[in-house]
Structure 1
Amino acid sequence: MKQRILLFATIILIGCNHAPQGSNHLDSATTTRQIIVMHPTVNNLKTFLYLTENALFPLPKDYRVVGVYHAKEIYDYKKAQKFIDEQGLSNVSLLKVDNVICADSLYAKNSCTELFTKLFNESQGAIFFGGPDIPPFTYGDSTNLLTVVTDPNRHYMELSFLFQLLGGNQNVGFKPLMDEKPDFRILGICLGMQTMNVATGGTLYQDIPTELYGKRSVESVLAMDANQQHRNYNTNFTDDTSLIWGGFHQIYVVPGAKIVSLLSVNGVRPFVLSSHHQSVKKLGMGLRVAAWSIDGKVVEAIEHNRFPNVIGLQFHPEPTLLYERGIKIKIQSNKPAEQSFEELYPGEKGASFHIAFWAMMGEMYK
């Protein structure tokens, strides 16, 4: 039987200072390796465990997982605690951060700097999962009527953490943590990639259909080519919860990109799963494009020029439905779910690309 241990580390800081203060309760005597999972909801923990336990993401068994979240996030992390406890996950702990991060100290030393430094020093990598829209003021823009900001405190913490890891052109004199450990691994998925871009000084298109394609209605978006649709807009017309939340489209991987090695044949344009209405506009400091949408309008993946294990993906490589033949996918209400992702896009069309991606991630963590 697995030992049922749940470790909570709470950092309590008062005020809104620009210099690190207080202390944290991370186990400095940790002898095993550690990976950070940001926004460790039950769903994200289940996804992470599915990938690792099924050897899709072959993370060595000596790794422990620390899930990091802000106390003012909108998610109820008592649910995550209960899940960890019920599953007896002795290698998984949660870290609640109470630090106040001011808007004017996102891209500088702040109340979280000491914690971020400790996390970095005691970990080998971090995963930033998907989520809602980033507050546009964090990249110097006004708020579009189609932008919906629901979880600002999560964004502030994740933006500040990624800035302190990677640096950014908002504060070019700041020395990023990764200067000391350039092989640290970072994976940003969907929102995670957008956060990586904004943290390093980049900007975002706040709505793809209106800003990139001049479309003002759901009907006009659905009339476009599938490769220009970046979520499943059929969900706007129904309360059918069996519809998949994302849309499938192809991507073009840039020659020379790290992820080009995942293609079985050069020039293959694999299908991926996307669910977003915002995208990278101006690239952040040190970043380069690794993949585009087929029409070259939407950045689909980014890599870092200096830090080889930093990858951002605008699409979702992690959902269970991409790897289970028994999960049939329903895209439209009037059409039954008859095929799995592997059946829709077998081999080099998409399935093998995703498997190769997680195998590559496993190699990074050896």
Structure 2
Amino acid sequence: MKQFLSAFFLFIFSANLVAQDFFRENFDTGKTYILLANPTVRNLETVTFLIDNNLLNVNKRKTRFVGIYHEQQAYDFEASRRYVETRGLNRFYLHEIRGKLDTTKLYLENGYTAEMRNLFENSTGIFFFGGPDIPPAVYGEKNTRSVVTDPARHYFEITLLFHLLGSYRNNHFEPFLHKNPDYFVSGFCLGMQTMNVATGGTLIQDIPAEIYGAETPEATVQNGKMNMHRNYWQKISTDSLLMTINFHPIRFTEHPFFGESVKVAKTKKPLIYSSHHQAAEKIGKGLEVTAVSNDGKIVEALTHTTYPHVFAVQFHPEVPALYENQQQKKFHPDDTPQTYHELIGRQNVKFHKKYWRYISKTLKKAAR
């Protein structure tokens, strides 16, 4: 009986550690909390890898991570709760936003404003991760080439970023960061696109078709490897070793972000991990372009003109396979298989590590 009671109370204690109501309960206000939007198992694995390998360098004694999401999202976050619990990730928690998403009030104070303000006031920053296409209606366009699979996620993340940063779509709204300009906001791929849309920007719905006039994968590959932002050979060939992504160079604009903040030579054109078919078009309120594709046609990075710790990239510096040898893949059917770590090369890994050092430094400043 004693063993049963011990196991029961241990189960209850463990369940409380990963309860999906974190900011509704009594939490330790002496800790530093970083929010993770869309805390899927994969994203939790990624953040854990970055911390364990000292890429994301935070105060492990004091820093905690809280995954936030909306209950209507197309993902079973119970899997995330089980992952946190079974792996004993005692620095990770979950918080579920509940209620009906009103798409007519994404750029207004709405039923989530008070809860989002509570998240903001009790955290030092937030990461937004990659994912599927945003519904074009939220940036005032018809759906011509977007594949929308998780609208609730986009509605939640867009209204959250609107509340944080403001938008051309509501110039009268005072963004949360007005009260705390040092708050950290960053994103990767979809995360950057969401930041742009939330602040009043728009998107190119399909890069090959709208930028290069290529309507098929066969036409897209004729544009050359450097003009592909994901791998279209895998849509043509049945070779099981073909990667879905591409490595291509970016170049920095005249903006000082990469040169002065990240400390990368302006003349460098680092290879990056690219996996997208959409991109920022009209740029949102308060944002400036800091990097573009090699041909200058695609926005690869943004930063904020007012809030120093707000920036995002179109590429994926967070992918663990960049930093260690994992599966071997190839871009073209005739290529020799290599790991992503080998393909990107030592000098380009250094660029990504510098980017993470800057993120870590910025998070520490935001936490002061």
Q: Same fold (TM over 0.5)?
A: yes
Q: State whether structure 2 residue 108 is matched by structure 1 residue 108.
A: yes
- The residue identity in structure 2 corresponding to 1:73 is Q
My pick for the range that moved more, 266-275 or 94-103, is 94-103
Q: Deviations over 1:48-95 (max 9, x none)?
A: 000011101112111111001111111111111111011111221111
Moved over 6 A (4+): none
Name structure 1 gaps, 5 residues minimum.
12-23
- The residue identity in structure 2 corresponding to 1:363 is K
- The residue identity in structure 2 corresponding to 1:103 is T
1:355 corresponds to which of 349, 353, 356: 353
- The match for 2:318 is 318
- The match for 1:117 is 117
- The match for 1:8 is 19
Contact 1:240 1:333 survives alignment (8 Å) = yes
Q: State whether structure 2 residue 208 is matched by structure 1 residue 209.
A: yes
TM-score (norm 2): 0.90
Contact 1:10 1:98 survives alignment (8 Å) = no
C-alpha distance in structure 1 between counterparts of 2:241 and 2:224, whole Å: 23
Contact 2:321 2:341 survives alignment (8 Å) = no
From the two aligned structures, give the one with the greater helix fraction.
2
Contact 2:35 2:125 survives alignment (8 Å) = yes
Tell me the secondary structure at the aligned position of residue 68 of structure 1. strand
- The match for 1:277 is 277
- The residue identity in structure 1 corresponding to 2:221 is L
C-alpha distance in structure 1 between counterparts of 2:14 and 2:43, whole Å: 20
C-alpha distance in structure 2 between counterparts of 1:264 and 1:247, whole Å: 22
Contact 1:250 1:270 survives alignment (8 Å) = yes
TM-score (norm 1): 0.91
Q: Deviations over 1:294-352 (max 9, x none)?
A: 111100000000001111111111111110035433223443423x344334343x211
Distance 1:241 1:81, change over 3 A: farther
Q: State whether structure 2 residue 224 is matched by structure 1 residue 225.
A: yes
Q: CA shift at 1:10, angstroms?
A: 4.2
* Paired residues, number: 349
- The residue identity in structure 2 corresponding to 1:188 is G
Contact 2:259 2:265 survives alignment (8 Å) = no
My pick for the range that moved more, 128-137 or 53-62, is 53-62
Name structure 2 gaps, 5 residues minimum.
1-12
Q: Please list, as runs of the form range in 1=range in 2, the aligned pairs for 1:321-332 lying within 5 A after superposition.
A: 321-332=321-332
* Cα RMSD after superposing both structures: 1.8
C-alpha distance in structure 2 between counterparts of 1:171 and 1:252, whole Å: 33
- The match for 2:93 is 93
- The residue identity in structure 2 corresponding to 1:8 is A
C-alpha distance in structure 1 between counterparts of 2:126 and 2:240, whole Å: 31
Tell me the secondary structure at the aligned position of residue 248 of structure 1. strand
Distance 1:78 1:242, change over 3 A: farther
C-alpha distance in structure 2 between counterparts of 1:200 and 1:326, whole Å: 37
Tell me the secondary structure at the aligned position of residue 300 of structure 1. strand
Q: Please list, as runs of the form range in 1=range in 2, the aligned pairs for 1:138-287 lying within 5 A after superposition.
A: 138-144=138-144, 146-238=145-237, 242-261=241-260, 262=262, 264-287=264-287
C-alpha distance in structure 2 between counterparts of 1:304 and 1:284, whole Å: 10
Tell me the secondary structure at the aligned position of residue 65 of structure 1. strand
My pick for the range that moved more, 318-327 or 277-286, is 318-327
Contact 1:248 1:272 survives alignment (8 Å) = yes
- The residue identity in structure 2 corresponding to 1:171 is N
C-alpha distance in structure 1 between counterparts of 2:18 and 2:82, whole Å: 12
